[in-house]
Structure 1
Amino acid sequence: MAVEKLVNYETNSRLPLTLSKSEKRLYMSFISFAFIALFIGGLMGLLQVLVRSGHFTLPAGIDYYQVLTVHGVILGLVLTTYFIVGFQYALMGKTVGISDTQRRVAWLGFWIMTIGTVMAAITVLYGKASVLYTFYAPLKAHPAFYIGLALVIVGSWIACFVNWRQLYIWKKKHPNEKSPLLAFMVVINMAMWFIATLGVAGSVLFQFIPWSLGYAATIDVLLSRTLFWYFGHPLVYFWLLPAYMAWYAIIPKIIGGKIFSDSLARLSFVLFLFFSIPVGLHHQLTEPGLDTTWKFIQVVLTFMVVIPSLMTAFSMFATFEITGRKKGYGGLFGWLKHLPWKDVRFLAPFIGMLAFIPGGAGGLINASYQLNTVVHNTIWVTGHFHLTVATTVVLTFFGITYWLVPHLTGRKLTKSMNRLGIIQTIFWTLGMTIMSGAMHIQGLFGGPRRSAYSEYNGTEQVAEWGAYQMAQAIGGSILFIAIIIMLYIFIKLAFFAPKGEEEFPIAEEEIDAEPTPMWLERWKLWIAITIALILFAYTIPIADVIQNAPPGSAPFAWPIGNN
């Protein structure tokens, strides 16, 4: 295992570890697979908006809902999971190190995830699993689709255990010392992911797979949806928290500053762990069979996530202002004008931050008991996801790519690649603004989601929606151009850019910062509180769903059921 070099630990100043070639291959394998997924999922997204425009018909043998399923699964699950796992492995390797055994286990997780992804993809491409990203019952897919999803989850669990083991070994070697901030964040995110995926894994293993294999004649639809959304909402934060890692601990280094507050960053992640999981019922506000009291309780818990989000916004803009003023830029907004706008490593994540302002506001509407009824199951929700995940998260991931890939491949981010990255960022921002904006507007007028027939409201055609659908097609086309540019940049940085050393930017704390309290490292306490909140929020609702299930339905059908 790599040995960490420490310099003046009292001021939290440390030299990052050097990544070995074998480590870099591991991390690049995950990142590369993510970019393959970006191309496939992006192409499917382009086909969708063209079909929805009413001016394009899919070739014979290709169904719209096949395309929709590939787009959602590949981008929402495959792209994000592979990039996050690869990025987090790199963060852990750089801050706490990885042993040869841990690296071999990490490869095992990669191949299990990949086998599962290929299995699920084949069933969708053959038209055997057009069940959309949420795979709601009673839509039924081929058993291989569900088995593939289960393997992807198991592979990601292996990454969880490797990351936890990495920090555990580091803590054993550094007793009574606070863990590196990025390692702390990774472990929080993987703890949240593991706890959240227990719900969807249980549903897939004990409901969908037996049902699809014929072991059970029926499936408890409401229970399956409840278990999915137990997982589905923290999935959003599994996407988002790696972006927050970059915002808190990497962007300050890029702009020449320091971390505003190590304690604030850790506390915000602990709060995300608490309030991201026990809130899934706010996605089911319109569903009967769930008690309204528990829906309301989970809505309240959902709004608690606003607190760490505002903490993050405060911390980031405090970092920007302090850095600017230390460089001598005065005035009310002088510091803002002199941020490194021509550095794509900063520009792309910063636009992602700005996009999260309307994206977060839309999330408050989605989670509100009354306002949700206006937008539920409309294309507004699709527009919301494209603001939060496809803009905030993905643009930050692109910003990470510009320095992470050349660092892993031993190459340099050249000025020409930086300029092309800025162009790509502008294309992405423009395309997403047009497409997502049109989705939000059409959604307010009742435009449906998950449908190729988006020009219909009930049985009547709504001619006025044609402009919004055409805007979506234009925005989606611009986005696909941005994807092609990004893939070119990725290939260039991975294989053809000039050889050199690209910085792995990890910011330090301010020298005179207040010491981080050690109680923030009480992992058992944080996990216990999280479990307690989940049991409080879900025990009675799930018990009610099982107890009041329709006659003949089997809540769980493994190994026996209603045959």
Structure 2
Amino acid sequence: MTTTKETVQKSVSSGLKNVDRKDGKLALAYIYVAFIAVFLGGTAGLLQVLVRSGAYELPSFLNYYQVLTVHGVLLGLVLTTFFILGFQTAAVSRTSGTFTDKQRTIGWIGFWVATIGLVAAAAMILTNEASVLYTFYAPLQAHVVFYLGLAFVIVGSWITGAAQIMRFVQWKKENKGQSSPLLSFMVVVNNFLWYVCTLGVAIEVLVQLVPWSLGLVERVDVLLSRTLFWYFGHALVYFWLLPAYMVWYVVIPKIIGGKIFSESLAKLAFMLFLILSVPVGIHHQFMEPGIDALWKFIQACLTFFVVVPSLMTAFSMFATFELRGRELGGKGVFGWFKKLPWNDSRFLLPFIGMVAFIPGGAGGIINASYQMNELVHNTIWVTGHFHLTIATAVALTYFGTAFWLIPHLNGRKLTKRANSMANCVGILWAIGMTIMSSSMHIAGLLGAPRRSAYSEYGGSEQAAEWISYQVAQAIGGSILFIAILVITGLIIYLAFFAPKGEQDFPVAEVAPGAAKVPASLENFKLWGVIMIAVIIFAYTIPIIDIINTSPVGSKGFKLW
């Protein structure tokens, strides 16, 4: 029987570096909750597309908006937040070293706080006390326990994020003068982004929605609540996206046998995301009459600046792919493309996600363009856009990562058969999402509304056109649900039944000859000040204007 000491020695001699098993348990706890959310949220998504097709009616104990809320909260908030915290815990342990007992305890406290909050919020949704959709917009009102439950999820994430930052700071103290590990650096940037953006939704929930739900105030300012939500809501998209970028920048190059193209470029891209992700939320509110057009224009411009780090990422990734493909003998303009490891699910699923992000990003530019946004605003086009960016680019990267990360953390192997099944997931997802998202985009251009169970409005001729696209959405959604069933089976297999062994946690090295990272890119104080300055510039006057013109209260009040 192999001893733990012998296992560690074999790991070292084979060039592997394992995440500490105790740290792995914390990471796995988060990841398991995330994939429970995938199954339940995916089931709710299937019910939605079937209802919209007109071919299915929900049982009497459910309503469409309850199912919509389940889908949005579980996949938009729970899957993402819990998977990210699990992955980031493992990433920091892998690249900055094992957590101390104190740091790990803090991480577990965060997990249990978030999980208790999740259970409380879920109970309210299931009892139909919180059918307020994913955005929980006022004047839709939920039970106070729903709002407090989501607040607990956020606080729990703050606590576990603090443990990750503490481990990173400890590494910096132990390795003075050295460039920080790229993966850990990225984790810290994403946590800072999360801390800043969640302040908006925390203020909305605790100052406005909780007192309103308790009956302590008669009404709330709807425009202010929406502005606070979208201060958080668009940065939330980048909180989802940056862990996928971590995998693309650091893990994928190792899987294909290449090197990180430029560590400096990667760190600069993440710092740009840090300062540009928050002050752009008003571009979701172009149709709100209470926000001055000047500030809509300013935040639209800031939104377009976010394209820059995304283009930097695309350049870096495809440069890495081409360099490695040519090393392997690829000739001609696209000969290198054939040399990439297409049979490896660790590469294939994230790559499909990267490709989906191209049309998804183009749709985002349309959403952020004032005149074009007027055409698609509040139509199912927007839902199709989300399903390309978050539900494909991000989700497939998460899935492809989980299929090797779970066996790494629990001492098992990603077998050839499991790898083949994972590739089937990627193909099914690509087919299903192409059908569903394309039909959503087309139906949106025809005027089909989002957030609605109804396929027809008054028997109009236009509604008749929508129906065929709603049926296509049901077909695509059904294919996606088949993929979700395969994912669920794979996760159970990899967690509990895959053969014992060692599965590597791929972390690429920087290409030889790459320039040294400038000290300014490691200066979180400098970039933090810039971030706060841009946020103050973008939001101070709009929020003051909203408060000054607020109808809430008998006489209202002014800040100046």
TM more than 0.5? yes
Partner of 2:22: 22
The 1-side partners of 2:389 and 2:136 are apart by: 21
- 1:510 offset after TM fit, Å? 1.2
- 1:454 offset after TM fit, Å? 3.0
CA RMSD of superposed structures (Å): 1.4
The 2-side partners of 1:148 and 1:501 are apart by: 38
- SS of 2:370's partner is coil
The 2-side partners of 1:379 and 1:73 are apart by: 18
The 1-side partners of 2:425 and 2:282 are apart by: 37
Partner of 1:48: 48
The 2-side partners of 1:398 and 1:475 are apart by: 19
Partner of 1:353: 354
Offset from partner CA, 1:205-238 (integer Å, 9 cap, x none) = 0100011001111111110000000000000000
- SS of 1:420's partner is helix
Describe the shift of the 1:551–1:501 C-alpha distance in structure 2 as closer, same or farther (beyond 3 A): closer
- 1:457 offset after TM fit, Å? 7.3
| Cα contact 1:108–1:155 (8 A) shared by 2 | yes
| Cα contact 2:109–2:160 (8 A) shared by 1 | no
Give every structure 1 segment of 4 or more consecutive aligned residues whose post-TM-superposition deviation is greater than 6 Å. 457-461, 553-556
Partner of 1:367: 368
The 1-side partners of 2:463 and 2:163 are apart by: 53
The 2-side partners of 1:529 and 1:194 are apart by: 16
Describe the shift of the 1:188–1:445 C-alpha distance in structure 2 as closer, same or farther (beyond 3 A): same
Describe the shift of the 1:555–1:319 C-alpha distance in structure 2 as closer, same or farther (beyond 3 A): farther
Describe the shift of the 1:506–1:456 C-alpha distance in structure 2 as closer, same or farther (beyond 3 A): same
- SS of 2:509's partner is coil
Between 1:507-516 and 1:391-400, the stretch displaced more is 507-516
Find out whether 1:37 has 2:37 as its counterpart.
Answer: yes
Between 1:493-502 and 1:15-24, the stretch displaced more is 15-24
| Aligned residue runs from structure 1 range 98-497, under 5 A | 98-456=99-457, 462-497=463-498
- SS of 1:416's partner is helix
Offset from partner CA, 1:318-354 (integer Å, 9 cap, x none) = 0001111122222111110110001111000000000
Partner of 1:560: none
Describe the shift of the 1:221–1:501 C-alpha distance in structure 2 as closer, same or farther (beyond 3 A): same
**Can you give the 5+ residue segments of structure 2 that lack an aligned partner in the other structure?**
1-14
| Cα contact 1:110–1:155 (8 A) shared by 2 | yes
- 1:425 offset after TM fit, Å? 0.9
Partner of 2:533: 532
Offset from partner CA, 1:398-452 (integer Å, 9 cap, x none) = 1101210110111111111111111111111111110000000000000000000
Partner of 1:62: 62
- SS of 2:390's partner is helix
Offset from partner CA, 1:111-162 (integer Å, 9 cap, x none) = 0000101111100110111000000001100000000011011001112211
| Cα contact 1:117–1:148 (8 A) shared by 2 | yes
Between 1:228-237 and 1:20-29, the stretch displaced more is 20-29
- 1:551 offset after TM fit, Å? 4.5
Partner of 2:79: 79
Partner of 2:502: 501
- 1:17 offset after TM fit, Å? 5.0
- SS of 2:516's partner is coil
Whichever residue aligns with residue 238 of structure 2, its letter is Y
The 1-side partners of 2:242 and 2:555 are apart by: 36
| Cα contact 2:259–2:511 (8 A) shared by 1 | yes
- SS of 1:250's partner is helix
Partner of 2:91: 91
- SS of 1:370's partner is helix
Aligned length, in residue pairs: 542
The 2-side partners of 1:226 and 1:457 are apart by: 33
Tell me the percent identity. 63
Normalising by structure 1, report the TM-score: 0.95
The 2-side partners of 1:240 and 1:553 are apart by: 43
| Cα contact 1:131–1:141 (8 A) shared by 2 | yes
- 1:458 offset after TM fit, Å? 9.3
Describe the shift of the 1:546–1:82 C-alpha distance in structure 2 as closer, same or farther (beyond 3 A): same
Normalising by structure 2, report the TM-score: 0.95
| Cα contact 1:382–1:449 (8 A) shared by 2 | yes
| Cα contact 1:16–1:94 (8 A) shared by 2 | no
The 2-side partners of 1:22 and 1:283 are apart by: 42
- 1:375 offset after TM fit, Å? 0.1
The 2-side partners of 1:83 and 1:458 are apart by: 43
Whichever residue aligns with residue 294 of structure 1, its letter is W
The 2-side partners of 1:489 and 1:537 are apart by: 45
The 2-side partners of 1:285 and 1:20 are apart by: 48
Describe the shift of the 1:420–1:34 C-alpha distance in structure 2 as closer, same or farther (beyond 3 A): same
Describe the shift of the 1:477–1:134 C-alpha distance in structure 2 as closer, same or farther (beyond 3 A): same
Offset from partner CA, 1:294-320 (integer Å, 9 cap, x none) = 010000000001110100000000000
The 1-side partners of 2:519 and 2:210 are apart by: 45
| Cα contact 1:16–1:95 (8 A) shared by 2 | no
The 2-side partners of 1:172 and 1:554 are apart by: 55
The 1-side partners of 2:509 and 2:403 are apart by: 21
The 2-side partners of 1:307 and 1:358 are apart by: 16
The 1-side partners of 2:80 and 2:510 are apart by: 29
| Cα contact 1:218–1:554 (8 A) shared by 2 | no
| Cα contact 1:250–1:507 (8 A) shared by 2 | yes
